[in-house]
Amino acid sequence: MANARGGLLIYGVRNDRKITGVDPNAVHTEHLFKWLRANTQPYVAGVDAYTLTSEDGSLSVLVVDVPASAMAPHFILGATPREKELRAFAVPFRYSDHTGWLAEHEIDRAYRDRFARQAVADQALERHLDRIREVVLTDGFPPIAWFIAVSRPSRPLPPLVPPTGRQEARDVLNATLATAVSMQGEFDVTQLMRNTLSGSPQIGLRCWIEGNFLHPFVGSHPRGRLMLVELHHDGTVVYAVDVSRLARQKNVIPTEPPQGAYTPVESRVIQVAACEAVALAHEFRRARRIDSSTDLAAALVSMEKSPAPGLPFPGYAPVIENHSFLDVPSTARCPKRILPVGSELPPAADRTALRDCAQSLASGLLNQFGLESIFP
């Protein structure tokens, strides 16, 4: 089913559709998931299993919901002892009430389809990154660094699903605050979203927008434009935050040439921003009842402007906090370009999975400065 269009397995119903029921006390769904992990490759994510009981409690059925998988084709370990001994795998698919097996050329086509889907997903993330890069970058000096994260469900919502309502968007933002705090552990820092967002999302193009980018802006220096959040009706989430603000206010890095005029990047803010971006993607996915995995991409961007005519852009400088003081480590690297990084959030993500995803994004960016990112 995962190799085709997904479907439902209902135990306790005969072929003539008469409900015979199952003993709910004999249902152990954990055995199903253990079998899936042991016998399928790649693992079929997003499978759900639950019992439904009649109002009078006399009959129960077991329902197994198998989603169509973006990771198809999925191989299954052979059923016979000889096949298991040889670790022989085959690719089944379901049609009507029959099971078929893909031939070699069909497996090849399935792989091509998977890679094509992934390419489309990567292009969609890149388009959002490019669009937000244009939105947040404004001409001014000294340049400002922005953390941008975009998340998108691997299986987008169907077009006929009703759009997100304003109250639903509010609820997602409020839930994100609590989830992000639980992910941050012992981080003793300001909560970026709580201190910046107003709690009143405004309508956008097929999305809800929050942040102080909605107010008129006059001047060459983008003061006060600190954060932008977008919740798109198709499940896409955009999160952008200024990661140079505090370092710029405290003049940690000289802003006049020839001292350097590096663009400061606060490492602790990167870690917190990664937590909030992942929490936002998770809560919006829950609100929209999206049961697929989520692809995430994060980047650090700035105008990469030269400090003076004729001088090259010096690069980004990582700023760390040490006993309430901000400083640039002497051993850190100051790259002129930060490569985007990606991660994936599994369908049923617990707190550990959320932290691992945020850790992956933060580490991918900070490691390019020669810094480690270890969550407490």
Question: Residue 59 corresponds to which amino acid?
Answer: L
**Boundary residue ending a domain (70, 102, 134):** 102
User: 131 and 39, same structural domain?
Assistant: no
376 belongs to a structural domain: no
Cis peptide, bond prior to residue 309, ω within 30 of zero: no
User: 277 and 336, same structural domain?
Assistant: yes
Instruction: Tell me the pLDDT tens digit for each residue of 111-140.
Output: 888 777 777 777 888 888 888 888 887 755
Instruction: Tell me the pLDDT tens digit for each residue of 341-351.
Output: 988 887 778 88
**Token couple for 26:** 């004999």
Domain count, the chain: 2
User: 98 and 143, same structural domain?
Assistant: no
- 265 forms beta bridges with 318
Instruction: Tell me the pLDDT tens digit for each residue of 267-320.
Output: 888 999 999 999 999 999 999 988 778 889 999 998 877 766 677 778 888 888
The Cα–Cα gap between 185 and 181 comes to 7
Q: Which segment, 181-195, 204-218, 233-247, 339-353, is predicted with the most confidence on average?
A: 233-247
At 266, phi and psi to the nearest 5? Answer: -80, 115
User: 356 and 265, same structural domain?
Assistant: yes
**Token couple for 251:** 């003049």
111 belongs to a structural domain: no
User: 74 and 201, same structural domain?
Assistant: no
Beta carbons of 244 and 145 less than 8 angstroms apart: yes
User: 51 and 132, same structural domain?
Assistant: no
List the domain range (segments joined by +) for residue 278. 121-369
The Cα–Cα gap between 219 and 139 comes to 10
Closest to 265 (Cα-Cα) out of 304, 231, 239, 310: 304
- 343 forms beta bridges with 296
**Boundary residue ending a domain (49, 70, 102):** 102
**Token couple for 80:** 């016979």
**Boundary residue ending a domain (46, 72, 102):** 102
